[in-house]
Structure 1
């Protein structure tokens, strides 16, 4: 009687553990990370060094030696208090705030409406209008400075806040960026709004504006910085001392008998609004990048 042999049992498939980097490879990677951290620290020190110098000089006594000769033994806020009595400094700060804040509000509102129309509405010449807006980004401001000044001067806008603000309200870059953001929104949102009977204004206010808050916050930072640090146009249109902005006023302080500590105090004051608005709104920069992938 012959016995039948059983089929061989397949060996269980062994699961290999995930390959771990060798010790030399880990050491090399850690060494590279340490050098990266050291390099970033050195670059950061070079970046903040001018700001530290401005703060130290702004808080130094008037008769203290300037950097880098010596660091003052005591710091004081007298320079910051004193600079408000120099010229029309409080009025310069007010002019800059009005110029920047009003421009931010109007630019974001008008640019968002234009972007919504260019992204979601169908009308003849839409693409031609879009490319015409984009083409204005290639025209340097210096090329349109004289014609713009002639128009504003003819309308009586020299040495006025409205003459300072009006030519800067048409922001093609803001329109283009918001339009790209609105284009990525799901079509189902707008279809649902039409089914519910929502008009264009309600759709814009209830759907578009809440969803584009990240890109609006990002643009608010850039538009505010553009206007707050603007020098050329305020220098041209603000010809009287009372019509100057803070940047123009700081430039004129160098021609007067004002100490270096007072000038640095004024520069420190001009830096504070930019720093605050960036601190409060910088998280929206990342949110705008993340939310740009909403359409899938």
Structure 2
């Protein structure tokens, strides 16, 4: 007779170790993975706190009473919006805000328009010297702005652009980085699409407006954020070209306020107001950034 094996008396059959499924992770491996994810989460939370801490400090100082002790020495006893209201009566703050807004928005529109047209020509048109033109544009990325600051100022001053918005905007329209990035995006568009448009009899301008611009919307939105932030936070060129108080941008105005005898709360209120347009433009265009990353990943 064959001997029959049985569990010891009193042992629960449910406590028997289940057979491991081939390829299934063991309990030890699952526990190690869970512990690793916990440490990653904790590390990200700590890094996020350090990243957000300066912004929180600006918000608290901007909402603190005018002569309250500043962080980290004491926490304000109350919060108020008086500093935000008061800062609009300091100097030419509303005019500085308007100058920065015009400088940033107009520059974004013109940079994207001119860069997209140049990128379309460099990506889809065949003409002698195309490669020379492209690499000449790319080579300008290696030239720092400080090296061309004095010649640019002499040129704009000779044209009468000192203390004017057009003199502030004009030298920043030639954006080699925007041309190169849009050109790479246009180059990856399918050739069959352009062949079909030509068969339908569409001209170059119609092809550019009706076909190219809608398809490159993600990269345009991404560049719009970068160009807006660059112009909004620009300090050196507005400081050089805007020599009167009325021609200053917000960054130059904030630098002048910091050197005056006004409270820290008022300066932080001005800094907080200057942050709002950057946050708004990012919220409006962030979904296009995700689309750009997704489409780039699919193409790759």
Q: Determine if the TM-score, normalized by the shorter chain, exceeds 0.5.
A: yes
Residue 293 of structure 1 deviates from its aligned partner by: 5.7
| Aligned-partner Cα distance in 2 for 1:293–1:182 | 16
Tell whether 2:89 aligns with 1:96.
no
Where does the alignment leave 5 or more consecutive residues of structure 2 unmatched?
Answer: 1-19
1:244 pairs with 242, 248, 260, which one? 248
- Give the aligned length: 281
Whether contact under 8 Å (2:61, 2:70) holds in the other structure is: yes
Query: Structure 1 CA distance, aligned partners of 2:271 and 2:297?
Result: 40
Q: 2:26 aligns with which of 10, 22, 41?
A: 22
| Farther off after superposition, 273-282 or 35-44 | 273-282
The CA RMSD measured in Å over matched residues stands at 1.2
Distance 2:122 2:33 in 1: 49
2:280 is the counterpart of 1:276: yes
The counterpart of 1:265, out of the listed 266, 269, 278, is 269
TM-score when normalising by structure 1: 0.93
Distance 2:64 2:77 in 1: 9
Query: 1:216-253: per-residue Cα shift (whole Å, max 9, x none)?
Result: 00000000000000000000000000000000000001
Shift of residue 17, structure 1, vs aligned partner: 4.8
Deviations 1:122-157 (A, max 9, x none): 000000000000000000000000000000000000
Q: Is the 8 A contact 1:185 1:295 kept in 2?
A: no
Shift of 1:281: 0.9
Q: Which runs of 5+ in 1 are unaligned?
A: 1-15
- Write out aligned runs for 1:1-296 (5 A): 17-292=21-296
Q: Is the 8 A contact 1:103 1:168 kept in 2?
A: yes
- 2-structure distance, mates of 1:293, 1:36: 25
| Normalised TM-score (structure 2) | 0.92
Q: Secondary structure at the match of 1:170?
A: coil
CA distance in 1, matches of 2:163, 2:38: 55
